[in-house]
Amino acid sequence: MPEDTTQFGAGLPGHGQSSTRRGFLTGALALGGVTVCLGEPSSVLGAEQPKGGVAVNPRLFTFVGGKVGGWSVVSAKAVVGDTLPAVDRLHIVNGAVATMPDGGTWLLRGVTSNDRYVTRDEKDHLIKTQAALGRPESTHAALIPIRKSAKWWAMTQDERRAIFEEKSKHNAIGLKYLPRVARRLHHCRDLSEAEPFDFLTLFDYAKDDSGAFDDLVAALRVTEEWKYVEREVDIRLVRAS
């Protein structure tokens, strides 16, 4: 299976770094053991292609919690709602994992996507400031799966944007921690509303920035946006030697 063990697939389309539309359409999506080929293989950097000529959707990432993987789990806490079963390691795969691998306990998946809320100025600022995942000094990481409530999803785009930024200052708060913290946002709802989470948020940073990352999540969790979070699990990781 395509693997992304010690790094997070630096160079791949990420949070605010969409691949081309063509790249997305020519990928393949494998869900529930069924691989749907949407065209010719994509040549997006880093997306390893499975044998047999079927392309992987380069935007799809699978997170397998279990006994193997490039990241050791140091803690996993339910912030709100149900937790996830305890695991020792996290394995991050750029692509589909059709069936639970040996030693796997849970499997979460999501796709990177286009931005929904940022203005042009905010996006330009982000692009100038943000760092890629997988820097050598980024030995610490967090995977924070999040589900928002039906009330959030019932709102219109402009109503959600007003809460996300005008009231909660999500991006403005987050920007203060860039480039120390690198991030990638995966959307699960774009795969299916039956996924256990709406988003899989992934971050990495140097050991010395662990305290800053704690401050960042604490600042976001008291905002109005977080009143719409009905499930959140905070999984902290260190790179396995």
Point out which residues bind ligand HEM (CB under 6 A).
Answer: 115-118, 144, 146, 148, 170-171, 174-175, 177-178, 181, 183, 185, 199, 201, 216-217, 220
Closer residue to ligand HEM (CB): 40 or 215: 215
Phi/psi of residue 87, nearest 5 degrees: -140, 160
CB of 1 to ligand HEM, least distance (A): 26
Which residue of the chain is nearest ligand HEM when measured via CB?
Answer: 174
Nearest to ligand HEM of 39, 77 (CB atom) = 77
Q: Tell me how far, at minimum, the Cβ of 73 lies from ligand HEM, in Å.
A: 17
| Contact in structure between 180 and 214 (CB atoms under 8 Å) | no
Closer CB to ligand HEM, 71 or 199, in the complex: 199
Cβ distance to ligand HEM smaller for residue 2 or 110: 110
Query: Rounded to the nearest whole angstrom, what is the least distance from the CB of residue 186 to ligand HEM in the complex?
Result: 10
To ligand HEM, the closest distance from the beta carbon of 233 in angstroms equals 10
Do the bridges between strand 60-66 and strand 34-37 make them parallel or antiparallel, or are there none, so unpaired? unpaired
C-alpha distances in Å from residue 218, one per residue of 2, 167, 173, 211, 233: 34, 16, 11, 11, 14
Residue of 184, 168, 178 lying closest to 221 (CA atoms) = 168
Comparison of 1 and 220: residue with beta carbon closer to ligand HEM: 220
